[in-house]
Amino acid sequence: MTTTKTQPAKKATTRKPATRAQPAKANSAPKTVAPKEQTKPAPKPKSAKPQPKTLIEALTTGQTVLMKVRANGTKRSLPYYAEGSGYRTLAQTATTLKANGKTVDAIAEEMKVSTATARRFLTGLSLAHDVEAGKFDKQWKPGTKEVIVHTVVAKQAKA
């Protein structure tokens, strides 16, 4: 692809233009440029997350999750309310209301959430306190992705 430059308009002169042909410049032919080789950018080295030293650090960075095993064998992940998070603040509010004698339904109504959500706030904060107290430290080793914190045992049918 060649581009042409626009030149400013020539000034009017009283002289006649030269009738002789101007010699052609040696480099006046348009240059052809070889297409550049398309090279892929060098892959960025994967920044490995540093190995957490504690269970709390692993939970906060998302390298480990807390799990509950249901009676039918399926797993459900449980949230960890980290110190200073928004959910932790909501859970502390729910716990304060519970300590003041309010029922779960009354807490849910006051916080404008469902009853199930209010219950989850209460159990989630309890779980966070257990984690911070070191209750599950023996079950976690560096590199572990899941920590089982609760296993539901199936009830036996009455005979």
Question: pLDDT tens digits, residue range 60-91?
Answer: 888 888 888 888 889 988 888 888 888 899 99
- The Cα 94–Cα 107 span in angstroms is 6
pTM score: 0.62
Where along the chain do its domains lie?
55-151
Tokens 């090279």 correspond to what residue? 39
- The pLDDT confidence band at residue 156, using thresholds 50, 70 and 90, is confident
Q: How many CB atoms lie within 10 A of CB 73?
A: 9
Is the pLDDT at 100 greater than 70? The verdict is yes
- The Cα 90–Cα 96 span in angstroms is 10
Which of these, 57, 50, 74, lies nearest to 140 by C-alpha position?
Answer: 57
